Amino acid sequence: MATRDWPIKRKLTAILLLISGLVLLLTSAAFVTYEVVTNRQTIKIHLATRSLILAANSTAALAFANEADAAEILSALKYDPHMVAGALYRQDGRVLATYPVAGAADLIPAAPEPDGYRFEGGRLVAFTPVAQGGNQRLGTLYIASDTKAVSDALRLSGIIAIAVLAIALLAAYALAAALQGRISEPILALAETATAVSTRQDYSVRAPKFGADELGSLTDAFNQMLGRIQEQNKELQQHATRLEQRVAERTEELEHRNEALRRNAAELLAANTELDAFAYSVSHDLRAPLRSIDGFSQVLLEDYAAQLGDAGRDSLQRVRAASQRMATLIDDLLKLARVTRAEMRTERVDLSGMARDIVVDIQRTTPDREVEFVIAPGLEAQGDSRLLRVVLDNLLRNGWKYTSKRPQPRVDFTAVEENGNRVFVVKDNGAGFDMRYADKLFGVFQRLHSAAEFEGTGVGLATVRRIINRHGGRIWAEGAVDKGASFYFTL
């Protein structure tokens, strides 16, 4: 594990140990150095003292070149176990005597070296001048001491330093372990809390506070943040709950509506099927008796004309007329029913062209009447062409019918703009109607004129309105008695 990935506890302990270890190490080094330097100084002084004493004692032996005396003097070195070698050199540099007497030749230089004290090859050597009367040099004294005292001191101080270091480090470790908690615990607690928040999404937990220091402030800030998040979370959840509730309510409402719609559709379908069956049976069954009534009346008229007399024949003619009129009524009603249930096929329809076709048809079948039809060009609409033909056919024929008592009958088919909507108008200068009864115009079997005045079943305009409604449009009429009528419709 890289150092930077260490847990904070270990980092703190490591830092404390590193610092205290470094301090202790420096202190120990200073201590050991001091010991060594002091010891070396001490043995140097000892050697110097001994050298001076021996040199003073050696003057006679050198002056007289007395080897036995010289050896005697040097042998005194044996009382100091640190003294490893010694020699007296004459004025000319030749060795007069050595210590120990025989051997140790490798420890004794062949000739004297410059005066002074120095450490050489693990030994302290001293070359001291032997002089008489203070100025006449007689020779040189050499002694060598081992440095065991120094190494002993070094060893001892080293051991002491290591022991102190070890004990101090142990103590430092124990203290660090005990004291790092002050810093690491709040941090660890924060980290633990943060982990709990992020893994469990639990914003209700709070980090414990250990003191009023910076970590305490951090904990406070962290806890405040958590509090705010918790509040916002709560609000969010409340919103979500409300939203869910509303969605559920809406869904339920929609389902209810859907259910109602389905029921309505099913009812409509049933009603349509029923209507279908009804229309079919009307078409077939109601006409059959009419045919019998008309047929047998005709049989009577043909076979028993003489017996019937004028009044009888007239009655039978009326019976026949009535039955034929009823057949027309049935047919018109069936047309109305078909308009209601016919499937719509929406397309672009040329209304002007369609109106012209109808007018041609009207004029062809009734050449005895002269009605001026004025059709605006380019009238178009979106719708079912078959149904729209029924509309135009009814309105134009109405115009044609109700202008029959005018000297200059005229029917117009135009369009006007009203509130941005295109409104088609079929206008005539015929009999018109009383606006008080305008709402009755479009009812089934509702007529504002007697059959004697104008023929009709009262189904035409009802059919027209139904078609317009199926196209999502509107139809209304304006007029006055003897001032003509205008039929407006939108698609």
Partner 1 sequence: MNPGKILLVEDNPDDVTLTMRALKSHNITNDVIVAQDGVEAIDYLFGTKGRPAPTDLPAVVLLDLKLPKLNGMEVLQRIRSDERTRLLPVVILTSSDEERDVMDGYSLGANSYVRKPVDFVEFTKAAQQLGLYWLLMNRAPPSPRGP
Q: Is 132 in the site for partner 1 (CB under 8 A)?
A: no
CB nearer to partner 1: pick between 187 and 319: 319
Sole residue written with tokens 């002993």: 152
Q: Is 288 in the site for partner 1 (CB under 8 A)?
A: yes
Residue range at the interface with partner 1 (CB under 8 A); choices 6-14, 126-134, 228-236, 283-291: 283-291
Residue range at the interface with partner 1 (CB under 8 A); choices 37-45, 65-73, 276-284, 349-357: 276-284
Quickly list H helices, 282-304: 287-303
Sign, CA torsion 342/474/332/275:
positive
Tell how strand 380-384 and strand 485-489 pair up.
unpaired
CB nearer to partner 1: pick between 150 and 459: 459
- Going from the C-alpha of 449 to that of each of 27, 398, 459, the distances in angstroms are 134, 12, 13
Per CB under 8 A, the list member of 283, 315, 446, 490 interacting with partner 1 is 283
CB nearer to partner 1: pick between 212 and 288: 288
d(CA 224, CA 219): 8
Ramachandran angles phi, psi of 133, nearest 5°:
65, 20
Among candidates 479, 473, 451, 476, which has minimal Cα distance to 461? Answer: 476
Per CB under 8 A, the list member of 6, 34, 64, 280 interacting with partner 1 is 280
CB nearer to partner 1: pick between 94 and 291: 291
Give the shortest CB-319-to-partner 1 separation in angstroms: 11
Cβ–Cβ under 8 Å, residues 385 and 349? yes
Residue range at the interface with partner 1 (CB under 8 A); choices 1-9, 167-175, 278-286, 479-487: 278-286
Give the shortest CB-463-to-partner 1 separation in angstroms: 16
Q: Is 290 in the site for partner 1 (CB under 8 A)?
A: yes
Q: Is 300 in the site for partner 1 (CB under 8 A)?
A: no
d(CA 450, CA 456): 9
Q: Which of residues 307-326 bind partner 1 (CB under 8 A)?
A: 320, 323-324
* Total H helices, total E strands in the chain: 9, 12
CB nearer to partner 1: pick between 131 and 282: 282
Q: Is 403 in the site for partner 1 (CB under 8 A)?
A: no
- CB-count exposure of residue 487 (10 Å: 0-12, 13-18, 19+): buried
d(CA 249, CA 259): 15
Cβ–Cβ under 8 Å, residues 358 and 371? no
For the chain, report the end-to-end CA distance as a whole number of angstroms: 84
Per CB under 8 A, the list member of 292, 346, 382, 421 interacting with partner 1 is 292
Cβ–Cβ under 8 Å, residues 162 and 31? no
CB nearer to partner 1: pick between 218 and 327: 327
CB nearer to partner 1: pick between 25 and 319: 319
- Both tokens of 168, joined, read 């101090």
CB nearer to partner 1: pick between 236 and 277: 277
Per CB under 8 A, the list member of 13, 39, 297, 352 interacting with partner 1 is 297
Q: Is 334 in the site for partner 1 (CB under 8 A)?
A: yes
Residue range at the interface with partner 1 (CB under 8 A); choices 125-133, 172-180, 286-294, 304-312: 286-294
Q: Is 228 in the site for partner 1 (CB under 8 A)?
A: no
Long-range contacts of 111-118 (CB under 8 A, 24+ apart): 112/139, 112/140, 112/142, 113/142, 115/140, 117/44, 117/47, 117/48
Give the shortest CB-324-to-partner 1 separation in angstroms: 5
Cβ–Cβ under 8 Å, residues 39 and 124? no
Q: Is 285 in the site for partner 1 (CB under 8 A)?
A: yes
Which residues partner with 479 through β-bridges?
485
Give the shortest CB-291-to-partner 1 separation in angstroms: 5
Per CB under 8 A, the list member of 11, 90, 287, 474 interacting with partner 1 is 287
Q: Is 64 in the site for partner 1 (CB under 8 A)?
A: no
Cβ–Cβ under 8 Å, residues 186 and 210? yes
- Residue 272 CB contacts under 8 Å (≥ 6 apart), including other chains: 341
CB nearer to partner 1: pick between 35 and 294: 294
CB nearer to partner 1: pick between 92 and 302: 302
Q: Name the helix (H) or strand (E) containing 427.
A: strand 421-428
Give the shortest CB-395-to-partner 1 separation in angstroms: 23
Give the shortest CB-288-to-partner 1 separation in angstroms: 6
Q: Which residues are at the interface with partner 1 (CB under 8 A)? A: 280, 283-285, 287-288, 290-292, 294-299, 320, 323-324, 327, 331, 334
